[in-house]
Amino acid sequence: MAIHIGSKIVDYEVVKPEAANQTQGQQSEAPEESSIQHMHERIERPEMLEGSTYKIKTPLSEHALYVTINDVVLNQGTEHEIRRPFEIFINSKNMDHFQWIVALTRIVSAVFRKGGDCTFLVEELKSVFDPRGGYFKRGGRFMPSLVAEIGDVIDQHLKKIGMMEQDGLDEHQKAFIEQKRAEAEAKAAPEPTAADCDDSTDAYPEGAQLCGKCHTKAMVVMDGCLTCLNCGDSKCG
């Protein structure tokens, strides 16, 4: 094959056969970077994707949300095999939030397929606050909004597939937490306090919804109307 040389030749060297064989051996041993597949938007969707489905049950709705995140496996069967999120779906019987949920899933899926670092989505979604107030999920963890809990689900999934580091505790912290938990379980139920300083949710019926006025999980249905047992706020006026 003829090679066109467009510049002036200033020096030359004869390559010996043993040197040429050594160079070829080094190139064959070193992995080619171009052969490693990275996540980008030109990757076509495979016929089958592996994923996980997470359930979100909030006190703001009777129906749960089911968040499904599907992953694509890159460089399968090699030492460079990785899992990357490819798409997200959110389904629920509650149609009140259908419009913005569809928009959110399409945008998040587009960010997943774009490749690169998509972990910034977690902090962006977790920082969304509901003007009516957040809620406490099971276990006493406060969620400022439904969007923030969707961000928390994405956080769990990215940690599961190894894109984010797990929040680890050392042995001393674990022992301290277990000690405090045992002390709390050993104590009797606290006496009721004033409404303005009562942070407990045990005094109200199970399944009570979050009150948008006093931000307490004390909204229950009374006479066909949601009424707060803490501040007396009622949806019927």
Residue 113 pLDDT level (bands cut at 50, 70, 90): very high
Biggest distance spanned by C-alpha atoms of the chain: 97
pLDDT of residue 119: 94
Q: Supply the mean pLDDT for the chain.
A: 79
Q: Which residue has the higher pLDDT, 188 or 77?
A: 77
- Give, in order, the Cα–Cα distances in Å from 23 to each of 14, 29, 31, 83, 104: 14, 10, 14, 34, 52
Residues 70, 86: contact at Cβ < 8 Å? yes
Query: What whole-number distance in Å separates Cα of residue 83 and Cα of residue 87?
Result: 12
Question: What is the residue whose two structure tokens read 């030492």?
Answer: 79
Residues 106, 90: contact at Cβ < 8 Å? no
Residue 19 pLDDT level (bands cut at 50, 70, 90): low
Q: Which residue has the higher pLDDT, 81 or 196?
A: 81
pLDDT of residue 9: 76
Residues 182, 173: contact at Cβ < 8 Å? no
Query: What whole-number distance in Å separates Cα of residue 13 and Cα of residue 40?
Result: 42
**Domain boundaries, given as residue ranges, for the chain:** 50-160, 207-237
User: What tens digit of pLDDT does each residue of 157-198 get?
Assistant: 999 999 988 876 667 766 766 765 566 556 544 554 444 434
pLDDT above 60 for 10: yes
User: What tens digit of pLDDT does each residue of 137-161 get?
Assistant: 876 678 999 999 999 999 999 999 9
pLDDT of residue 183: 60
Residues 42, 53: contact at Cβ < 8 Å? no
- Give, in order, the Cα–Cα distances in Å from 221 to each of 13, 142, 205: 90, 23, 11
